[in-house]
Chains A and B, each alone.
Chain A
Amino acid sequence: GQNIDQPTEMTATEGAIVQINCTYQTSGFNGLFWYQQHAGEAPTFLSYNVLDGLEEKGRFSSFLSRSKGYSYLLLKELQMKDSASYLCAVRDHTGAGSYQLTFGKGTKLSVIP
């Protein structure tokens, strides 16, 4: 995955809904991931899309459009603990049974009261 773009920062209000967009360009697409990373901590897996459409998991949903090279992460009923960086990552098939996961620079979400 190369040229992964996502907004640098976003701010949203507690209880609201926020959508974090991600666009990408790749030649051997094999899945798109979203990870959450709190400051100074390890990234943790949130969601995975390989086919077009919406995947819902509790308060978090992720959407993928392969033809548009576009994904978004939707966070509902925002809580203060959702303040973190959200990393979009694309997995590429690099040949010979090998895959590489490339991360975007992340979107720092600040949830305010």
Chain B
Amino acid sequence: DSGVTQTPKHLITATGQRVTLRCSPRSGDLSVYWYQQSLDQGLQFLIQYYNGEERAKGNILERFSAQQFPDLHSELNLSSLELGDSALYFCASSVHTGVAGSGELFFGEGSRLTVL
């Protein structure tokens, strides 16, 4: 158990719909990262927040948005869903932004999204 909690574990929805994925980081971790993993693309970095502020942006579509709340949990919102959005969405957390020590990421179990 990494200490990172993601909900829901599984989600099935239709094209055009909107979903929200939730992540609670490890106690004490200030950074939250979102990654998308599909079969042919591997782990793709979407976005990072540190203590409530956006710190880095990767290959995140405009239809997707995220935020980190004062209690440090984060939500990833996916809208106007398409078949290609079906993937495993991972949240990870770390203490810092990646400066101190190894800055390893601790991953949640992921949310598997299926768009039909």
> Which of A17-25, A67-75, A100-108 lies at the interface with chain B?
A100-108
Residues of chain A within 8 A (CB-CB) of B4 are: 42
Q: In the bound complex, do residue A97 and residue B58 qualify as a contact, i.e. CB atoms below 8 Å apart?
A: no
The count of chain B contact residues (Cβ–Cβ below 8 Å) is: 26
How many residue pairs between the two chains, A and B, have CB atoms under 8 Å in the bound complex?
64
Q: In the bound complex, do residue B56 and residue A42 qualify as a contact, i.e. CB atoms below 8 Å apart?
A: no
Q: In the bound complex, do residue B42 and residue A103 qualify as a contact, i.e. CB atoms below 8 Å apart?
A: yes
- The answer to whether the Cβ of B109 comes within 8 Å of any Cβ in the partner chain is yes
Cβ of A49 to closest chain B Cβ, rounded Å: 9
A103 and B2 alpha carbons, distance in the complex (Å): 19
Q: In the bound complex, do residue A45 and residue B43 qualify as a contact, i.e. CB atoms below 8 Å apart?
A: no
A80 and B43 alpha carbons, distance in the complex (Å): 24
Cβ of A53 to closest chain B Cβ, rounded Å: 15
The count of chain A contact residues (Cβ–Cβ below 8 Å) is: 23
> Which of B14-22, B61-69, B71-79, B95-103 lies at the interface with chain A?
B95-103
Q: In the bound complex, do residue B104 and residue A42 qualify as a contact, i.e. CB atoms below 8 Å apart?
A: no
Return the 5 tightest CB-CB contacts between A and B, nearest first: A99-B98, A105-B42, A42-B107, A48-B102, A103-B43
**Chain A interface residues toward B at CB < 8 A:** 30-31, 33, 41-45, 48, 87, 89, 91, 94, 97-106
Given contacts A30-B98, A43-B105, A101-B105, 18 further A-B contacts (CB under 8 A): A31-B102, A41-B109, A42-B90, A42-B108, A44-B107, A45-B104, A45-B105, A45-B106, A91-B103, A97-B99, A98-B56, A98-B97, A99-B99, A100-B48, A102-B45, A102-B58, A103-B35, A103-B43
